[in-house]
Structure formats: C-alpha cells, structure tokens
Amino acid sequence: MSQLLANCTVLDARVLDGMPPQKDAGVWVTGDRIAAVGPYASVAAAARKAGPVVERDLDGAFVTPGLANMHTHFSLSLPGKGGDRVKELGPHDLALYMADGARRTLDCGVTTVRNVAEKDHADFALRRAIEAGRVPGPRMFTAGRALVCTGGHGHESGDTLECDGPVGFRHGVRSQIKAGADLIKVMISGGIAGEHEGIATPQLFADEMAAVIETAHAWGRKVTAHAGPAEVIGAAVALGLDCVEHGYLLTPEVARAMAARGAALVPTLLVTRCKEFFDELGVPEWMQCRSLGAGPRHLESFAMAVEAGVEILLGSDMPPFWSFEGTNATVRELENLASALGPARALHAATRGPIDWLGASADLGTVEEGKYADLIAMDGDPLDDASAFRDVRFVMKGGSVVRGSE
C-alpha cells in the first residue's frame, strides 16, 4: 500500500538552484521510493487512482530530505573516563553500543552518515545489519579504520591502522577497501586529542600522502584527511585530496586552492566549543585547553573557506545524536554553519552537498520522484531559521516511518 504525505511545504537544497518551496504539497511514496511530488490535489488524485493509499496529514509541516552527517564515529573514545569505558567494551558489547548510536541517530532525523574511523571493522557488520533491516539506523558510508603513521593521531585505538612508507600506506588503503570501505580516511597531521603531538604536527611525508590518494583513486574511492595546518593541507590538496576534516589553521591561499581543486571542508566547528561535552566524558584538562583554545582560529579558518567558495559539508565529530546545548549534535553543528552560510546554504551543507560528495545523488539528497523516501518534517521554516531542525517531529527512511504519527 502506498503512502501520501499531505498538507506540507516541501523544501530541499535545490532552492539554491532556483527551485522554490512547494506549498500545499503532497509527497506520494510507494515502497521505499518517492513516486511523485507536487500540488496536493494532483498528487493525491494520482495516488488514489493507483490503488489504496495511507494518507498522513503533516498539518502544514515543512518537509526536507533527511539530514546527512559527514563526520561520524559510533565508537568514539576520547581521552578520559568516558572514552575508556568504550575502549574496554568487548566485541559483542561494542556492536550493541554502536547499534544503539545508529538507532538514536536515525531518530534525530539523520538518515545518512559518513563514518570516518570505527573500531575493529564493527562498522561493516553494523552496515550489513541496517541494510538487512535487523537494526534501525541511517544509511552508512564508511571508511573502516583510518590510516595513521606509527604513533600518529588516534593510534591508541582499534579505529586506526598504523602504516609507514608508501608501500605500507598502499597496503593500508587496499586493506580497508577489501573490508568494504566506501572511502578512505587518513590522518595527515596531529589534532586536539593526541597528548604527544600538536595540531600542526605533520605526520605523513609527501610520498606517503601520494600513495594513499593514488591508490584510493585507482580503486574509485575518495580520500578525506584529518588535518589542521595549512601547509600540510595545501600539499595534500595539490596531490588530489578530496576532503579536509577540521581545517583548524587554514590560510586564504590554501582555502582558494581547495576551492579551485574541488576539495570540500567538513569544519566540525563543535569540537572547539564543547566544554560541556568534554566535562560529561571526563576529558582531561590538557585536551580541553588545546581544543577550546583553538576555537577562535578555527572560526577564522572556516570564514576563509567560506570566503574562498570551498564546498562546506556538515559533520559533527561528536556523536550525531548526542544531546548538546538544547538539541542534538547534528543540529547544533548545522546552526553553527548557518551563522556564516545562512539557512539555505546550511540546508545544502546538510543534505544535497554531502550526498553529491558521496556519489549518491541518483538516490538521495533531494525530495523528488524516483529517490528514496528519506524525509523529515518540522513545524518551523528552516529557510528562515536553521534552528527549525531542533523540532523535527517526523522521520521517514526508505518509506518506513521512524518517528511520528502512523
């Protein structure tokens, strides 16, 4: 039986391309796909003519594609007591812990995630379970384990793989692809969570970075890099890097190079302004000082990227569902982006932009005929204020209602 989402205004990131909001609209869903979108009267007539239909009155809600979070860790374990508890989980407990995070993420309206380092390849099992319908969760695009040099950023945990030299990094790329990776993540500098490094510490030589990028591209995989300093980022972008995570210390010149070469930025603005989250996890003082101290320069870097026209994509780093500052981490990051981008571009950064980067735009990212019915609804207009996403009250993934009235 098909479904009809009625009495709603349909928005999606095509508004940036001149697609106006569709008011008094209907969205007809058959199976897991959208069969039609348009004026309610005509869509309803077509749906009823085709056979029995369940009509869901959304009472004037605004409908958008489900959100996409491009920097997700379901097995995150930062330094401190909270992270230690995750590190101590056995493989069975870890799988259940991650499955709970996936369920909570979907319930927030995040229907697609890009996992950029998960422990012990448990992400592949979770992805299979979600695809098989055994557990609820978002669509997962995952990097498997991130590649690091010996002793490099994040080496302390099972969500990374230590490699050295061009041959070692080529093997690392191939090992993750063999396991089922959709993309490759590599740590090319230090960061805020490494006690014996600095944010600006370079960690790969040029031949190692080239080996990662060349090998991944040969296998049809994009590469994203944890990176802070401009010099390291600029060198990687010149080699063909597809995306930068964080970018704490950009310069205008490197930002312009990113824009020219089509390298996206996932700025993860939350990670340098989240003392409440750090306190909750018992993160040690040295990391809190480094992270929060980097905040002003981080914002300057973000502004440089925006000014240069770099493609900005939403990613929270903090678990997508985490309750933070009156909402969840994904929406709080979206609000941070909107403060510089404006609501319409922030919507793009949270929906169509990520899906385009993932190469999944044939199926996801907009509300239109033929695409998966991954939809969310809220009462406020997110083109007026991105904080409307704080009040998502309806979530559908692949035609199945996850949250909201049946």
Which long-range contacts (C-beta less than 8 Å, at least 24 apart) are formed by 333-338?
Answer: 333/69, 333/268, 333/269, 333/270, 334/67, 334/386, 334/389, 335/386, 335/387, 336/269, 336/270, 336/273, 337/267, 337/269, 337/312, 337/386, 338/386
Residue ranges, comma separated, of all CATH 2.30.40.10 domains in the chain are 2-66+365-403
> Of 204, 94, 216, which Cα lies nearest the Cα of 159?
94
Cβ neighbours of residue 288 closer than 8 Å, sequence gap 6 or more: 275, 278
pLDDT at 350: 97
Domain 67-358 adopts which CATH fold? TIM Barrel (3.20.20)
Whole-structure pTM value: 0.96
Instruction: Give me the average pLDDT of each 10-residue run along the chain (406 residues).
Output: 90 75 93 95 94 93 97 94 92 96 98 97 98 98 98 90 98 98 97 83 96 98 97 98 98 98 98 93 92 94 98 97 97 97 96 98 96 97 96 97 83
> Domain 2-66+365-403 class?
mainly beta
Q: Return the structure tokens found at 398.
A: 């692949």
pLDDT at 20: 83
pLDDT at 87: 92
Residue ranges, comma separated, of all CATH 3.20.20.140 domains in the chain are 67-358
> Of 66, 116, 152, which Cα lies nearest the Cα of 264?
116
What is the β-pairing status of strands 22-30 and 243-249?
A: unpaired
pLDDT at 36: 95
pLDDT at 18: 67
pLDDT at 12: 79
pLDDT at 183: 98
pLDDT at 193: 78
CA dihedral sign of residues 62, 65, 66, 71: negative
